[in-house]
Amino acid sequence: MNRSYPAEVDVIIVGSGPAGAAYARVLSERAPDARIALFEVGPTVTDPPGAHVRNIADPTRRADAQRRSEGPRGGSAATVDSPGAVKSGERRGRPGTFLLEDGFAADGEDGLPVAAMSSNVGGMSAHWTGACPRPNESERIDFVDDLDELLGEADRLLGVTTDAFEGAPFSDLVRERLAATADAGREPHARVQRMPLAVHRRADGALVWSGSDVVFGAETRSNANFTLFDESLVTAVIVEEGRTTGVRVSDRRSGEEHEVRARVVVVGADALRTPQLLWASGIRPDALGRYLNDQTQVVYATRILDAAAEPGDGAPPAAGISATSGVTWIPYTDAKPFHGQVMQLDASPIPLAEDDPVVPGSIVGLGLFCAKDLRREDRIEFSDEHLDGYGLPAPRIRYTLTTRDHEVLEQARAEIVRLAAAVGEPLGEHPFTLPLGASLHYQGTTRMGVTDDGESVCDPWSEVWGTQGLYVAGNGVIPTSTACNPTLTSVALAVRGARRIAESL
């Protein structure tokens, strides 16, 4: 950490989420002599910087870290804290996030009423569930021929495992019952299986959740040429004669403005704020902000009626994911265009049952994320008339579910009822569709493409069309309609871009 802003570096990274951290890590490994400055608008809320808040044992300190992540207004009370708040459809964000103040839905459109962001070192990776499934079938990017190798590298950087919850109560039973009803006709790789998670278990048995700290790794932290600047708002990317030459950045502690020169700039804020910064900088490719892709989410809960407490159980389920959790994955297929994330109650980020006590692991929450029918009309717009809490052009959402989207939703509702009945006794008369934006998996707004035809923002290595030395990173780069959690894919694409930068340096 340093507050002495440099006049010039080789590479500037904007945003400290997993994609920005991946650029820092790969460059530290492959171009160790390159001077790198990373600017993050939010504060450092964990030690080490970028760590997951779940790793904070003290609940008061953890709540404070979440509050400090909630944007320029800081500490909104409008967070989800009960099943009732979620199911009533109230416009609330999850702890550690903040909502768009307005502009989340245009008249006559569906919008994204609970679209949310985080501002802190580590970005959303300080608050996420850690699910890292691989894309399947049409989710995959067919013009990235080394995608599997890149996904493997993303697994390494994120510290992905599948055995952290081995032996969790009833998890084998849940997978067995799901497989019996869901696996027919699926290829082996697309059958019910353990969810790949960015989490590992220490020798003492404690769970450690990956945030950007794991992606940074010792390689970045020990790199004397890398510096992380928190509470630093990048207000513009500077472009001269078709090439980026640096950024303008405001120190949010002192209010001082700085200009930092660089050979390469990587903008990896998030799928809402990366196009915001490009637009504010006058960098406006035709596809900027377009093809906005959220994943509509259907949830349901079921109880394993024949469950009995297993030896050693006795404590009630812990809040959040704990040693009694099990997380199961039902991969996306084109025939069933949704991705299943099945979490025993103590693993669910959204409470699904209110009765207590329950046998640990016996309440199972099922969630299906639906792939979006991609449309150029679904987009983020900006104008100088509306400013956000940071003083930048505020995002205005234009977003509508198509007839096809509603058909997929109906298919998902029927499927989740079938799956819930296979596992146990469903809780409630019908599944619940979360408010749009609840997935936090926004994509497509700086999408990758093969040619500069107005339908993409960057090339297959994430360099912005028409602006040399400017790269974009994060979920917004993903060009396909996905249902699976996007972080692993966005880190894989970041690895590809970072390797290209390392070669150029």
**Which residues are known to be catalytic?**
441
* Element containing residue 419 per DSSP (H, E): helix 403-423
What's the rounded Cα separation, in Å, for the pair 482 and 498? 23
Mode of pairing for the β-strands spanning 264-267 and 470-472 = parallel
Both tokens of residue 251? 């120190």
Q: How many CB atoms lie within 10 A of CB 350?
A: 20
96 burial (CB, 10 Å; 0-12 / 13-18 / 19+) is buried
Q: What crossing angle do the helices spanning 18-30 and 212-221 adopt, rounded to 10°?
A: 20
Q: Which amino acid is at 451?
A: T
Q: Looking at the DSSP assignment, which residues form a beta bridge with residue 448? A: 458
Mode of pairing for the β-strands spanning 338-344 and 363-370 = antiparallel
State the alpha helices, DSSP H only, in 31-146: 59-68, 83-87
- Structure-token match 């107005």, residue found: 454
Bond from prior residue into 133 cis (ω within 30 degrees of 0): no
CB 90 within 8 Å of CB 98 = no
What's the rounded Cα separation, in Å, for the pair 332 and 369? 9
Closest CA to 228 of 120, 154, 75, 72: 120
Residues 6+ apart with CB under 8 A from 493: 19, 141, 144, 150, 448, 462, 473, 477, 478
What's the rounded Cα separation, in Å, for the pair 450 and 227? 33
Q: Which amino acid is at 284?
A: R
Q: Looking at the DSSP assignment, which residues form a beta bridge with residue 267? A: 14, 472
Q: What crossing angle do the helices spanning 18-30 and 147-158 adopt, rounded to 10°?
A: 100
